[in-house]
C-alpha cells in the first residue's frame, strides 16, 4: 500500500471514529465511589448516589474513552431541594454549577487530551436543608465518546455489584504433561501499600477450590481454604449428604464451616496477621482416596515460628483426582473498594508428583473474569517481574494487559526444601 493510500485510509478511520461520537448515560449505581469512606458519608446504591449530606463530600465516577475530544457533562438527579451548588472536576479543571428547577443539569465542557480513564469528581459546596440531591446518572456527550467507551452499562446479571468490585485476574500455571501432581507449592508477596481491605490474594487454586490470604477489615486478616461441593448450588443447606465436603482435620484456632453464594462447600479460616512486603509460603496436597473421593490438605508456613501450620484437610466425594488447574488469582470482594489499585507477586511455583519428583512451573496464562471480558472494566494486568509472576487490578489505571496472554518467567531451579514427614 503506498503512502497516499495509507494516509487516505488513516484519515477515513479518524473521520469514522469522530463521526461515531455520541452521548452516553453512565449509571452511578455501577460506576461511582464515595470520596469519604465513613458511616456518615455518601452511599452508592443500585439507584445511584445517596445520603449526600456533607459539604465537600461527594463521589468520583469513571469512564474510559478511546480517543481525545470534547466531553460535556450533565447530572441526572432525584428531587432537588433549594438551589444546591456543586463543583465538578476532570483532571484538575473545575467547573461550578447551581442546580435550579428540574434536571438533567448541564455542568460544562472539558477537553480530553488522550484516551484512557476519565475521573469525574463531583463535590457539594453549598446546600439548603439536610442533603444534596441523589445522583442517578451522568449524561456525557462529545467527540471523546464512541461505542468503545468502557463503563458498567446496566445492572443485568447484577453487574453494578461486579462492576464496582472490579475485574478479577488470574494466573493459570501450566502443568507438565503426563504428571500426576500431588503437591502444589507457591510463594506470595503483597507489595507495601497493596494490602487493601477487601482483597483476596489467592495463592494455591485448584480445580475444586482455592487457598490464599485476605484483608477482611482494618484489624483482621485471614488465611482462607475452601473446597467446592460437586452439587451445584449457592445454598449449602441444599447439598445432599452424599455430596457434602467432610472435614477430616484442622489446625489450632482454625474455624471451619460451610460457605455459599458463589457455589457451596467446605470452608476453613485461620485468622493470621500477615503483613505486606513479607513473602509467605503455601503448600497444598491433593490425592485420590479410593475410586470416587479426593482429599485436599492445606498448609501455611509461619515464618515467625519457622514451621508449617495445618489449616485444614477436606474429603470431597464424586471425584478421584490429583491436582488439576493450578492457578492464582487476585480479586476485590468489597464493591466500595473497587476504585483502589492492588498488586501481588507470585513466585517459585512447583509441583511434586506422586513419585516424589519436583517440577518447576514457569509458564502461565493470564486471564480475567467476565467484568473484563464484557468490556465494562479495563483496569487489569498480569505479567512477569524478575522471576515472579504479578497480577494487578482495580484503580482505573490505563496500561492494561490483554487477557488470555501466555507468560513465562525465568526458573529458579531450586526446589522447595520440605520435610513431609514433619507436617502436622
Over residues 183-224, the pLDDT tens digits come to 999 999 999 999 999 999 999 999 999 999 999 999 999 999
Grid cell listed for 269: 479460616
Tell me: do 339 and 257 sit in the same domain.
yes
Tell me: do 169 and 133 sit in the same domain.
no
Number of domains in the chain: 2
For residue 5, the model assigns a pLDDT of: 36
Grid cell listed for 101: 428547577
Tell me: do 348 and 414 sit in the same domain.
yes
Tell me: do 308 and 350 sit in the same domain.
yes
Report pLDDT digits (tens) over 55-66.
999 999 999 999
391, part of any domain? yes
Tell me: do 304 and 209 sit in the same domain.
yes
Q: What is the 3-state secondary structure (H, E, C) of the chain?
A: CCHHHHHHHHHHHHHHHHHCCEEEEEEHHHHEEECCCCCCCCEEECCEEECCCCCCCEEEEEEEECCCEEEEEEEEECCCCCCCEEEEEECCEEEEEECCCCCCEEEEEEEECCCEEEEEEEEEEECCCCCCCCEEEEEEEECCCCCCCECCCCCHHHHHHHHHHCCCEEEEECCCCCCCEEEEEEEEECCCCCCCCCEEEEEEEECCEEEEEEECCCCCEEEEEEEECCCCCCCHHHCCHHHCCEEEEECCCCEEEEECCCCCEEEEEEECCCCCCCEEEEEEEEEECCCCEEEEEEEEEECCCCEEEEEEEEEEECCCCCCCCCEEEEEECCHHHCCCCEEEEEEEEEEEECCCCEEECCEEEEEECHHHHCCCCCCEEEEEECCEEEEEECCCCCCCCCCCEEEECCCCCCCCCCCHHHCC
21, part of any domain? no
Q: What is the CATH number of the domain that holds 116?
A: 2.60.120.260
Tell me: do 56 and 103 sit in the same domain.
yes
Provide the Cα torsion 340, 381, 201, 196; round to 10°. -10
pTM for this model (two decimals): 0.92
Tell me: do 186 and 251 sit in the same domain.
yes
For residue 259, the model assigns a pLDDT of: 66
Tell me: do 134 and 258 sit in the same domain.
no
Tell me: do 186 and 324 sit in the same domain.
yes
16, part of any domain? no
Domain C-terminal end among 145, 180, 208: 145
According to DSSP, the residues that pair with 268 across neighbouring strands are 225, 256
Q: Is 108 exposed, middle or buried (0-12, 13-18, 19+ CB in 10 A)?
A: middle
For residue 16, the model assigns a pLDDT of: 34
pLDDT < 50 regions, the chain: 1-19
Tell me: do 110 and 247 sit in the same domain.
no
Q: Report whether the peptide linkage leading into residue 104 is cis, meaning its omega lies within 30 degrees of zero.
A: yes
Tell me: do 209 and 127 sit in the same domain.
no
Contact 138, 103 (CB under 8 A): no
103, part of any domain? yes
Query: Which range of residues forms the domain containing residue 250?
Result: 164-422
Tell me: do 399 and 261 sit in the same domain.
yes
Amino acid at each position: 500500500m503506498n503512502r497516499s493510500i495509507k494516509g487516505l485510509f488513516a484519515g477515513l478511520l479518524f473521520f469514522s471514529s469522530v463521526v461515531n461520537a455520541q452521548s452516553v448515560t453512565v449509571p452511578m449505581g455501577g460506576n461511582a465511589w464515595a470520596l469519604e469512606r465513613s458511616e456518615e458519608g455518601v452511599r452508592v446504591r443500585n439507584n445511584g448516589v445517596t445520603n449526600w449530606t456533607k459539604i465537600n463530600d461527594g463521589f468520583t465516577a469513571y469512564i474510559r474513552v478511546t480517543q481525545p475530544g470534547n466531553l460535556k457533562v450533565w447530572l441526572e438527579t432525584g428531587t432537588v431541594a433549594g438551589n444546591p451548588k456543586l463543583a465538578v472536576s476532570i483532571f484538575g479543571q473545575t467547573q461550578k454549577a447551581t442546580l435550579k428547577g428540574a434536571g438533567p443539569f448541564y455542568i460544562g465542557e472539558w477537553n480530553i487530551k488522550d484516551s484512557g480513564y476519565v475521573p469525574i469528581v463531583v463535590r457539594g459546596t453549598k446546600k439548603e436543608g439536610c442533603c444534596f440531591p441523589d445522583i442517578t446518572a451522568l449524561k456525557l456527550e462529545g467527540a471523546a465518546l464512541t461505542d468503545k467507551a468502557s463503563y458498567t452499562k446496566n445492572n443485568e446479571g447484577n453487574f453494578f455489584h461486579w462492576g464496582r468490585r472490579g475485574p478479577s485476574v488470574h494466573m493459570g500455571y501450566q502443568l507438565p504433561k503426563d504428571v500426576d501432581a500431588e503437591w502444589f507449592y507457591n510463594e506470595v508477596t503483597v507489595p507495601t501499600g497493596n494490602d487493601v481491605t477487601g482483597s483476596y490474594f489467592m495463592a494455591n487454586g485448584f480445580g475444586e477450590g482455592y487457598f490464599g490470604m485476605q484483608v477482611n477489615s482494618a484489624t483482621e486478616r485471614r488465611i482462607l481454604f475452601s473446597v467446592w461441593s460437586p452439587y451445584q448450588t449457592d445454598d449449602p443447606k441444599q447439598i445432599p449428604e452424599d455430596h457434602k465436603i467432610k472435614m477430616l482435620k484442622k489446625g489450632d484456632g482454625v474455624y471451619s464451616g460451610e460457605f455459599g453464594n458463589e457455589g457451596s462447600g467446605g470452608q476453613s479460616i485461620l485468622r493470621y496477621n500477615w503483613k505486606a512486603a513479607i513473602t509467605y509460603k503455601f503448600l497444598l496436597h491433593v490425592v485420590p482416596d479410593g475410586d470416587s473421593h479426593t482429599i485436599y490438605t492445606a498448609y501455611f508456613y509461619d515464618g515467625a515460628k519457622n514451621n508449617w501450620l495445618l489449616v485444614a484437610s477436606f474429603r470431597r466425594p464424586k471425584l478421584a483426582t490429583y491436582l488439576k488447574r493450578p492457578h492464582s488469582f487476585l480479586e476485590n470482594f468489597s464493591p466500595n473498594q473497587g476504585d483502589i489499585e492492588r498488586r501481588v507477586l507470585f513466585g517459585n511455583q512447583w509441583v511434586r508428583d506422586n513419585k516424589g519428583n519436583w517440577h518447576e512451573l514457569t509458564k502461565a496464562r493470564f486471564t480475567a473474569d467476565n467484568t473484563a471480558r464484557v468490556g465494562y472494566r479495563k483496569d487489569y494486568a498480569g505479567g512477569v517481574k524478575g522471576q515472579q509472576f504479578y497480577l494487578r487490578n482495580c484503580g482505573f489505571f490505563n496500561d492494561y494487559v490483554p487477557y488470555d496472554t501466555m507468560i513465562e518467567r525465568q526458573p529458579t531451579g531450586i526446589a522447595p526444601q520440605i520435610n513431609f514427614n514433619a507436617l502436622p
